[in-house]
Amino acid sequence: MKLISNNTELEQLIAGDKPVVLDFYADWCAQCQALLPVLEEANNHYDENVAIAKINVDNNPEIAKKFNVRGIPAVFLLKNGTVVDQFKGVQSKTEINKRIDQLIAAEAETSN
């Protein structure tokens, strides 16, 4: 899972050829820490189809503001640079995988 530390890295990731999952978090956030292993497992499982990255809101407030992050953890799913889904708080592995599967399916439909 890639750690985004500035806007340039974010733009390069979004411009890539894969759909993107962005996890906005903070080191002090217990819910963020609870979500991390689920997202790391998803990153290993979906590595070839989706780019998963995390953004520390304390270190990157301008990026958090750009996505209108009001609470963390906040996860955004992007296709072609556009947010197509998002959720806040801890979600189950099943729910997160379902959302990523939908993102991949939407990307496949666009590619065909």
Active site residues: 29, 32
Q: Under a CB-based contact definition with an 8 Å cutoff, are residues 53 and 4 in contact?
A: yes
Q: Which residues pair with 44 in a beta bridge?
A: none
CA angle (34, 24, 95) in 5-degree steps: 55
User: Radius of gyration of the chain from Cα atoms?
Assistant: 13
